């Protein structure tokens, strides 16, 4: 990508012989908000620390606008950082916290910049407030304003919404997304929550065991996963064992085959891992996989049903009155994806 502004070039980092980040290369265009998404231990926080300069890679480089910053200490990288616990100074008010990094400008310019970034995060009128008197969401926005005040080249956020109550997260996500877009700053943030990554990120990098599994938009990751891990980590999905048959189908049970996207280089009879989303499965009165409803999770007008057939278990989403636990049903599926079965 010729328009990449932030680049990770073959970054590798190990601790006590265990690989935390394994040969990761990633390019981020200017102004993009990138989510590093993965489970605990996937390497996302280590990647953020490598970007910030808090850790040095065993090999590889970090480049910003074509310049290698790998050897630079954090203070010289001109990166803004928002920590998980915000790290605000309790003895300073909001204005003083935000102005903390503005040491090389006049008092007048400092006041103008503080007012500008407080407006950006929708905190007008809070300059004189004590930070200890603010809500968690307000403290988070002050932390973002402080990081944006020096006009960083890159903004880094470590689990920015993890300390907020669930009810506050959705509104704060919208506010944070709006502030980042208005600021136009290239941003990388760490999260283990898919909903947060989807809501905030322009692009999402999915990590697993220190390796980069896939990078793309929320839609491409959900609809076109490139691995079983991505398919099951990003969204809900059932996984089954199957056999590739002729004509673009996969057999999941005796006399039951579904149309599927199967790797072309696999021959007929090859074992595959079948992945299917709940919304791609439906009850049918025609031919299908016969089983019994073993679970129903109510979500309102619709529900998630689990249908079990022998050693197979498939989840589907349907209107809540479609079936009841204990019913014998038949199901079919569309948009089935298959992956080479790993030995």
Q: Which residues pair with 55 in a beta bridge?
A: none
Q: Where are the domains of the chain?
A: 4-233, 238-340
- State how far the Cα of 106 lies from the Cα of 141, in Å rounded to an integer: 24
Cα 144 to Cα 22, 83, 235, distances in angstroms: 30, 9, 29
Query: pLDDT grade, residue 164 (50/70/90)?
Result: confident
Give, as one character, the DSSP assignment of residue 140: H
Contact 81, 100 (CB under 8 A): no
pLDDT given for residue 16 in this prediction: 93
pLDDT given for residue 5 in this prediction: 95
pLDDT given for residue 55 in this prediction: 96
The highest-confidence range among 105-114, 135-144, 319-328, by mean pLDDT, is 319-328
- The 10s digit of each residue's pLDDT in 16-27 is 999 999 999 999
Query: pLDDT grade, residue 246 (50/70/90)?
Result: confident
CA 270 to mean position of chain CA atoms: 33
Torsion of CA 100, 197, 30, 67, to 10 degrees: 70
The answer, yes or no, to whether residue 1 has pLDDT greater than 50, is no
pLDDT given for residue 2 in this prediction: 45
Query: pLDDT grade, residue 262 (50/70/90)?
Result: confident
- State how far the Cα of 318 lies from the Cα of 287, in Å rounded to an integer: 18
Tell me which fold the domain 238-340 belongs to: OB fold (Dihydrolipoamide Acetyltransferase, E2P) (2.40.50)
Which segments of the chain are extended strands (E)? 4-15, 18-29, 33-37, 59-64, 67-68, 79-82, 154-158, 186-191, 203-208, 211-216, 238-245, 249-253, 256-261, 271-276, 281-283, 289-298, 302-309, 312-319, 328-333, 336-340
Cα 217 to Cα 46, 197, 198, 224, 227, distances in angstroms: 22, 10, 8, 10, 15
pLDDT given for residue 167 in this prediction: 74
From the number of C-beta atoms within 10 Å of its C-beta (0-12, 13-18, 19+), residue 79 rates as buried
Q: Which residues pair with 41 in a beta bridge?
A: none
pLDDT given for residue 104 in this prediction: 82
- The string over 251-287, giving b where at least 16 C-beta atoms fall within 10 Å of a residue's C-beta and e elsewhere, is bbbeebbbebebeeeeeeebebbbbbbbbbbbbeeee
- State how far the Cα of 317 lies from the Cα of 280, in Å rounded to an integer: 8
Lowest-confidence pick of 97-101, 169-173, 251-255, 321-325: 169-173
pLDDT given for residue 115 in this prediction: 94
Question: Phi/psi of residue 278, each to 5°?
Answer: -55, -40
From the number of C-beta atoms within 10 Å of its C-beta (0-12, 13-18, 19+), residue 227 rates as middle
Which is higher by pLDDT, 107 or 39? Answer: 39
Q: Which residues pair with 35 in a beta bridge?
A: 189, 204
- The 10s digit of each residue's pLDDT in 59-80 is 999 999 999 999 999 989 999 9
For the chain, the residue count is 343
The answer, yes or no, to whether residue 241 has pLDDT greater than 90, is yes
Mean local confidence (pLDDT), 286-298: 95
The answer, yes or no, to whether residue 197 has pLDDT greater than 70, is yes
Contact 121, 94 (CB under 8 A): no
Contacts of 92 (CB under 8 A, 6+ apart): 100, 131
pTM of structure: 0.90
The answer, yes or no, to whether residue 118 has pLDDT greater than 90, is yes
Contact 65, 40 (CB under 8 A): no
Contacts of 173 (CB under 8 A, 6+ apart): 161, 196, 199, 200
Which is higher by pLDDT, 278 or 163? Answer: 278
pLDDT given for residue 42 in this prediction: 95
The highest-confidence range among 136-150, 171-185, 320-334, by mean pLDDT, is 320-334
Mean local confidence (pLDDT), 187-205: 94
Q: Which CATH number fits domain 4-233: 1.10.520.10, 3.40.50.300, 3.30.300.30, 3.40.640.10?
A: 3.40.50.300
The answer, yes or no, to whether residue 343 has pLDDT greater than 70, is no
Query: pLDDT grade, residue 126 (50/70/90)?
Result: very high
């Amino acid at each position: 990508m010729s328009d990449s502004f932030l680049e990770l070039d073959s970054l590798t980092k190990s601790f006590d012989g265990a690989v935390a980040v394994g040969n990761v290369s990633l390019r981020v265009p200017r102004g993009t908000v990138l989510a590093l998404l993965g489970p605990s231990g996937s390497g996302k926080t280590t990647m953020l620390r490598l970007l910030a300069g808090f850790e040095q890679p065993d090999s590889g480089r970090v480049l910003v606008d074509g310049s290698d910053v790998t050897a630079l200490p954090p203070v010289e990288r001109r990166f803004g950082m928002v920590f998980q616990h915000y790290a605000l100074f309790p003895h300073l008010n909001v204005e003083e916290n935000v102005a903390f990094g503005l040491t090389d400008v006049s008092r007048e310019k400092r006041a103008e910049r503080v007012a500008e970034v407080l407006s950006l995060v929708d905190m007008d009128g809070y300059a004189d407030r004590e930070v200890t008197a603010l809500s968690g969401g307000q403290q988070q926005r002050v932390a973002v304003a402080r990081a944006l005040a020096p006009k960083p080249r890159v903004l880094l956020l470590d689990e920015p919404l993890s300390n907020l109550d669930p009810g506050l997260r959705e509104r704060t996500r919208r506010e944070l997304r709006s502030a980042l877009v208005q600021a136009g700053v290239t941003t990388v943030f760490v999260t283990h929550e898919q909903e947060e990554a989807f809501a905030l990120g322009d692009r999402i990098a999915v990590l697993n065991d220190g390796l980069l599994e896939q990078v793309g938009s929320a839609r491409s990751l959900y609809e076109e996963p490139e691995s079983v891990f991505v398919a099951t980590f990003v969204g809900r999905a059932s996984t089954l064992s199957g056999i590739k048959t002729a004509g673009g189908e996969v057999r999941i049970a005796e006399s039951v085959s579904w149309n599927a996207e199967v790797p072309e280089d696999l021959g007929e009879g090859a074992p595959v891992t079948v992945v299917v989303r709940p919304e791609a499965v439906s009850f049918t009165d025609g031919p299908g996989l016969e089983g019994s409803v073993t679970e129903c999770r109510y979500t309102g007008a619709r529900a998630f049903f689990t249908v079990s057939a022998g050693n197979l278990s498939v989840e589907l989403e349907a209107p809540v009155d479609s079936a009841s636990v204990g019913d014998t049903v038949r199901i079919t599926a569309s948009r089935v994806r298959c992956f080479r079965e790993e030995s």
